[in-house]
A and B are shown apart, each in its own frame.
Chain A
Amino acid sequence: MVPSRRGAASVYCARGITKIYRMGEVEVPALRGVDLDLFEGEFVVLLGPSGSGKSTLLNILGGLDVPTAGHVSYRGKDLTSNDDALLTGYRRRHVGFVFQFYNLIPSLTARENVALVTEIAENPMRPEEALKMVNLGHRLDHFPAQLSGGEQQRVAIARAVAKRPDVLLCDEPTGALDIETGIVVLEVIERVNRELGTTTAVITHNAAIAGMADRVISVASGRISHVKINEHKQQPSELQW
């Protein structure tokens, strides 16, 4: 059992998750029996080197993938059933994703990229509002190719939070960015977590980022190796790497 902040309700409850990838004739275990709970409103950093299995874990939590064995539930709802319509609905209603490579649609402007999500959400912000939140109110009609890496990632965050998701899952959001830009992006994520109360999980291999989390869950070789509760959270601007 993973230690947790007491008092808050459990959003995710994962037990014994195992994920095995088959690469031709060899089986590659990515996760080997992980137990994990995430709680309402907390900011969690999943820390580990590349290949440790943290992305796989995030994908399973986000309903992008299902484990080979074990159970995951989101607010009591099973996420391991491999029912595509159910997982699609879950992603549509509850999850906001931020990817390492932004995954913006290059043929759509910043505003349109956000609209892509708000159009199918139940109670979204206006795209302009979401972009203003990430300080891009002045670059609404720029195409991804006209934006810097940091700006693109902020569009991606705006796109993720515009639907007011219950959870925000970020996969190496600063992985492709330099330090200053990375900090700006992390500040945005922190603000969303703080102001909207969105449960946030950030994957990184960068130990420095761990300082801003409520909880740091270290992952190595497909297992949770260590969990640390930060008594004093750092501001992104205080981070150094």
Chain B
Amino acid sequence: MKALDRKLLRDVLQMWGQLLAICAVIACGVGTFIMTQSALAGLSYTQQTYYEQSRFSRIFSNVKRAPLSVGKRISEIPGVSQMQLRVVRDVTLDVAGMTEPAVGRLISVPEHSMPALNTLYLRSGRYIEPNRPDEALCSEGFAKSHGLKPGDKVTAIINGRRKELEIVGIALSPEYIYQIRAGQLVPDDTRFGIFWMGEIALSAAFDMQGAFNDICLDLTSDANEAEVLRSLDRITRPYGGMGAIGRRDQISNKFISDEISNLKRMGLIVPGIFLLVAAFLLNVVLSRIIALQRDQIAALKAFGYSNFAIAWHYLKMVIVVVLMGELIGLGVGCMLGMQIMNLYTKFYRFPSLTFMLPMHVVLGSFMVSATSAIVGTVGVIHKAVSLPPAEAMRPEPPANFRPTIFERLGLNSLLTQTARIIVRNIERRPFKALFSSLGIALSVSIIILGHFSTDSLNFLLELQFQVVQRQHVSVTFVEPYSHSALYELQHMPGVIRTEPGRVVGIKMRFAHHERRVAISGLQMNPQLSHLVDSEEQPIHLPDAGLVINTKLASLLGVKRGDVVTIEVLEGAQPTWQVPIAALVTEHFGLSAYMNLHALNHLMKDGELVNTIHLLVDQKHRDELYTKLKETPKVASVTIKEASIRSFRETVMENMLQMQFFNLMFACVIAFGVVYNTARIALSERGRELASLRVLGLTRGEISFILLGELAVLTLAAIPLGILLGFGLGKIVTTFLDTELYRIPLVVSPKTLSMAVSVVTLAAVASGLVVRRKLDHLDLIAVLKTRE
């Protein structure tokens, strides 16, 4: 080993504490980068290959009922390469051990072979056999949630008749990777299950022989999707076609693609913060090393070491730190990446979801961490190299101090002698002080960033389920019924209040923007389902005109008073021009509301309802559920409490896991910054402090000088960190603002106090470490060494 490398090695070993702290910060940055990028790679790869293998269709449409002969015209649309006509119906399920009804979606599949499109993956059991009308395949999520295995039975209520389905296999489908029902916030595997049944049996059960109500298409590679959608809509319109959608708008695909794009964006912010801090720390530490080794650099130059050799020597130290950080980060990142994959398997039903670490991600992480390190140190190394050798031989001139602003303002008498040292020291190098504070502030902000999502979701739960949706149960009907259906429900056991509504699928158009949404017709002065503005105040529903949420308004580019075109997708499919009467702030989906009476008036098909919100006496809950299960009109029952529970069980729990990591990361940064700042202050001022000890100052007094400065920096960092936390939170919420949901920026006092206490604790801990060193300051040795 070269003598110079030996020096490097010993320098590194001597400063291991400080360098390890920097390594840890780099490791956090690399770790979060690897975590998000590997999750991204794994998820996109799995999605893509599964879509290909299972021949996930490109176009989806449904009709009320169309004869199979229409299929020929559909298959002749230019660009269509494959077609699948199905019967799909939602029914009420009666599952053993569960009083409340669950929703089962029955989908027809060919009796003799797997469907050619949206091929099923059999996790266990077998495919259905012909001439066995009771056999069904059950979706994995539902089966797992109820402990169902091949051989078990569930009861479906089809047209008021109970039908036993025998599960012969557990299956997965590319259509239901994210198994969520339209209008729900999170998947609820307990209350929503998919069942695939033979098409003959299913058609018979629903009187759909020789007919279909669902279309899936695959396209040739050169097909024009928009053109196919238009042609398909033209053909299906007479049959109650609801308007076809492309894969992009398919709900399961939409959620996964949303997650992928979130990962893409979020995968840069957090690693960026860590690597910025690492760059700063490397800068501070290397500056100090080089200041301490001025005479060594000079000697090396005098012996004829070239500038390059010296630059390389110090760069190697940086490389050692980066490499170590990179290696630890790789390990941590893989661990976290697997954790994320594990978490995804709870949400996404893929045949297999494998952890992936593509080479370009590893190289990318190295490039990013190396770049940040170079950015942090290139200036310092250049300074070391350009130090004229003769200059370097002389000790560094005494630092240039002057009275601080504080003192110039005549507030001198307010400061004690030691406080004056602190203030002057901070003011002499304001940028260094600022950056140290900024580093600590970043750890405050990381904690806020990691915790605010819980606060936001708690806020959303409260808003959605206490203020907006006050009903206990919502019932949707198979099709619109007259008000007599409402009276029927009113007389069911335990029902305290009912509130009718009608949901109509439409296309809303303004200028060249178009969105498929549903208009909810609400009764005047609703008591159960409220519309609120951004201040959570109820909005009065106007007699005519639309109320739409702000997200939909911004997507369409409309404002209050604009007139939009509504193309109704059901019934006689009329087209209307309706003005926007008001806007509401909502956090989920895109929606539009209208006075129920006005909506029915426009539909011209009578006073109809298809959803009913219920307020229920909880004592009679079970009786009500039993009764609802037996009501043929009822397509689905949504129980608010269950929604809240499944939301808490899935989303919130996973969030808590991630928060723990965030907390660790924040501690690493806080400790890394404070510890390094303190160690460097000690190294720079050990001599000064030792002199003060010799002059008779106590350990407490000299500690006050050093730790007081750290305390000032930490105190300044707290408000700065809170501000930064809000700023970063704002960026994140902007990124997470999608058609599916918007997360408001809510930071609870609990989160704030947690952020402040964690950082304060980290600061105190590193202060104590330095304090111990101060207590062992060797007065004579320190005074003997030359600066």
A residues lining the B interface (CB < 8 Å)? 56, 59, 62, 64-65, 84-85, 88-93, 95, 97, 99, 101, 103-105, 107-108, 112-113, 115-117, 119-120, 159
Q: Considering the chains assembled together, what is the distance between the CA atoms of A92 and B302 in angstroms?
A: 8
Tell whether, in the assembled complex, residue A101 and residue B295 are in contact, meaning their CB atoms are under 8 Å apart: yes
Tell whether, in the assembled complex, residue A97 and residue B786 are in contact, meaning their CB atoms are under 8 Å apart: no
Residue of A nearest to B12 (CB): A107
B487 in contact (CB, < 8 A): no
Q: Considering the chains assembled together, what is the distance between the CA atoms of A78 and B455 in angstroms?
A: 73
Q: Considering the chains assembled together, what is the distance between the CA atoms of A99 and B304 in angstroms?
A: 15
B775 in contact (CB, < 8 A): no
**A97 and B3 in contact, given A88-B307, A107-B11 (Cβ under 8 angstroms):** no
Tell whether, in the assembled complex, residue B301 and residue A88 are in contact, meaning their CB atoms are under 8 Å apart: yes
Q: Can you list 8 pairs linking A and B with CB atoms under 8 Å apart?
A: A65-B388, A91-B302, A95-B304, A103-B295, A104-B299, A108-B10, A115-B3, A119-B4
Tell whether, in the assembled complex, residue A84 and residue B303 are in contact, meaning their CB atoms are under 8 Å apart: no
B2 in contact (CB, < 8 A): yes
Residues of chain B lying within 8 A (CB to CB) of residue A90: 304
The 6 closest A-B pairs by CB, nearest first: A92-B304, A107-B10, A65-B390, A103-B299, A64-B390, A91-B304
B401 in contact (CB, < 8 A): no
* Contact with A116, one of B3, B10, B301, B393 (Cβ below 8 angstroms): B3
Residues of chain A lying within 8 A (CB to CB) of residue B301: 64, 88, 91
Main secondary structure of the interface of B (DSSP, over half): helix
CB distance from A200 to the nearest CB of B (A): 16
Residues of chain A lying within 8 A (CB to CB) of residue B303: 91-92, 97, 116-117, 120, 159
* Contact with B302, one of A62, A93, A101, A104 (Cβ below 8 angstroms): A62
Interface centre among B4, B7, B10, B303 (most CB of A within 10 A): B303
17 additional A-B pairs beyond A95-B304, A103-B302, beta carbons within 8 Å, are: A59-B389, A64-B393, A84-B307, A88-B307, A90-B304, A91-B302, A92-B303, A92-B305, A97-B299, A103-B298, A104-B299, A108-B7, A112-B7, A115-B3, A116-B7, A116-B303, A119-B3
Residues of chain A lying within 8 A (CB to CB) of residue B6: 107-108, 112
CB distance from A128 to the nearest CB of B (A): 14
Q: Considering the chains assembled together, what is the distance between the CA atoms of A104 and B296 in angstroms?
A: 7
Tell whether, in the assembled complex, residue B304 and residue A93 are in contact, meaning their CB atoms are under 8 Å apart: yes
Tell whether, in the assembled complex, residue B304 and residue A105 are in contact, meaning their CB atoms are under 8 Å apart: no
Tell whether, in the assembled complex, residue A64 and residue B302 are in contact, meaning their CB atoms are under 8 Å apart: yes
**A103 and B296 in contact, given A85-B306, A91-B302 (Cβ under 8 angstroms):** yes
- The size bracket of the interface on B is 20 to 34
Q: How many A-B Cβ pairs are below 8 Å?
A: 81
Residue of B nearest to A90 (CB): B304
Q: Considering the chains assembled together, what is the distance between the CA atoms of A99 and B14 in angstroms?
A: 25
Q: Considering the chains assembled together, what is the distance between the CA atoms of A93 and B305 in angstroms?
A: 11
B residues lining the A interface (CB < 8 Å)? 2-4, 6-7, 10-11, 14, 295-296, 298-307, 309, 388-390, 393, 786
CB distance from B399 to the nearest CB of A (A): 15
Residues of chain B lying within 8 A (CB to CB) of residue A56: 390
* Contact with A99, one of B3, B4, B11, B299 (Cβ below 8 angstroms): B299
* Contact with B393, one of A88, A99, A159 (Cβ below 8 angstroms): A99
CB distance from A79 to the nearest CB of B (A): 13
Tell whether, in the assembled complex, residue A105 and residue B299 are in contact, meaning their CB atoms are under 8 Å apart: yes
Q: Considering the chains assembled together, what is the distance between the CA atoms of A104 and B14 in angstroms?
A: 17
Residues of chain B lying within 8 A (CB to CB) of residue A119: 2-4
Residues of chain B lying within 8 A (CB to CB) of residue A108: 3, 6-7, 10
* Contact with B296, one of A62, A85, A105, A112 (Cβ below 8 angstroms): A105
CB distance from B298 to the nearest CB of A (A): 7
Residues of chain A lying within 8 A (CB to CB) of residue B3: 108, 112-113, 115-116, 119
Tell whether, in the assembled complex, residue B299 and residue A107 are in contact, meaning their CB atoms are under 8 Å apart: no
* Contact with B304, one of A65, A104, A107, A120 (Cβ below 8 angstroms): A120
Residues of chain A lying within 8 A (CB to CB) of residue B393: 59, 64, 99, 103
Residue of B nearest to A93 (CB): B304
Tell whether, in the assembled complex, residue B389 and residue A65 are in contact, meaning their CB atoms are under 8 Å apart: yes
Residues of chain B lying within 8 A (CB to CB) of residue A107: 6-7, 10-11, 14
Residue of B nearest to A84 (CB): B307
Interface centre among A59, A62, A108, A116 (most CB of B within 10 A): A116
Interface centre among B3, B10, B389 (most CB of A within 10 A): B3
Residue of A nearest to B9 (CB): A107
Q: Considering the chains assembled together, what is the distance between the CA atoms of A92 and B301 in angstroms?
A: 9
Residues of chain B lying within 8 A (CB to CB) of residue A92: 303-305
Residue of B nearest to A101 (CB): B786
CB distance from B756 to the nearest CB of A (A): 40
* Contact with B300, one of A84, A112, A116 (Cβ below 8 angstroms): A116
Tell whether, in the assembled complex, residue B390 and residue A89 are in contact, meaning their CB atoms are under 8 Å apart: no
Q: Considering the chains assembled together, what is the distance between the CA atoms of A105 and B6 in angstroms?
A: 11
Q: Considering the chains assembled together, what is the distance between the CA atoms of A230 and B78 in angstroms?
A: 110
Residues of chain B lying within 8 A (CB to CB) of residue A59: 389-390, 393
Residue of B nearest to A113 (CB): B3
Residues of chain A lying within 8 A (CB to CB) of residue B302: 62, 64, 91, 95, 97, 99, 103
